[in-house]
Amino acid sequence: MEILGTTLRVCVDDLDASVAFYERLSGSKALRFERGGVSVAAVGCFLLMSGPAAELVVLRKVAATIAVQNVDEAHAVLSASGARIIAGPVPTPAGRNLIAVHPDGSVFEYVDRQATP
């Protein structure tokens, strides 16, 4: 499994103010979308999330988002290596993802840009 990059996850109270800051910081325009009642903005290597406290409690547990070529391959490698898959693979606005708990207890999201059938 090849890791293509990592996105830092940041939960924020004011998405609009945060987007403006991170756009200036990264020199990138935000890609915005909604997911399960949470407003999301992808800005450079940052994934900003804002929404109901109950939703953010869960999202804060995920340390980072890791881009991979293929989530199915990541699923196989993670499972064979002792990780526990707790969600997915499922389609997202940008491809597919899964959430895995590593043997040390760290929680990561793995994403690809594969179109879902």
Q: What is the pLDDT of residues 90-116, one digit of tens each?
A: 988 778 999 999 999 999 999 998 765
Find the range with the poorest average confidence among 49-53, 66-70, 94-98: 94-98
Fold entry, domain 3-112: 2,3-Dihydroxybiphenyl 1,2-Dioxygenase; domain 1 (3.10.180)
| 67 and 3 Cβ atoms separated by less than 8 Å | yes
Tell me the residue type at 41.
A
d(C-alpha 26, C-alpha 6), whole Å: 15
Q: Taking the model in full, what pTM does it have? A: 0.81
Instruction: Give domain limits for the chain.
Output: 3-112
10 vs 73: CA distance, rounded Å: 27
Could you give the CA distance from residue 71 to residue 1 in angstroms, rounded to a whole number? 9
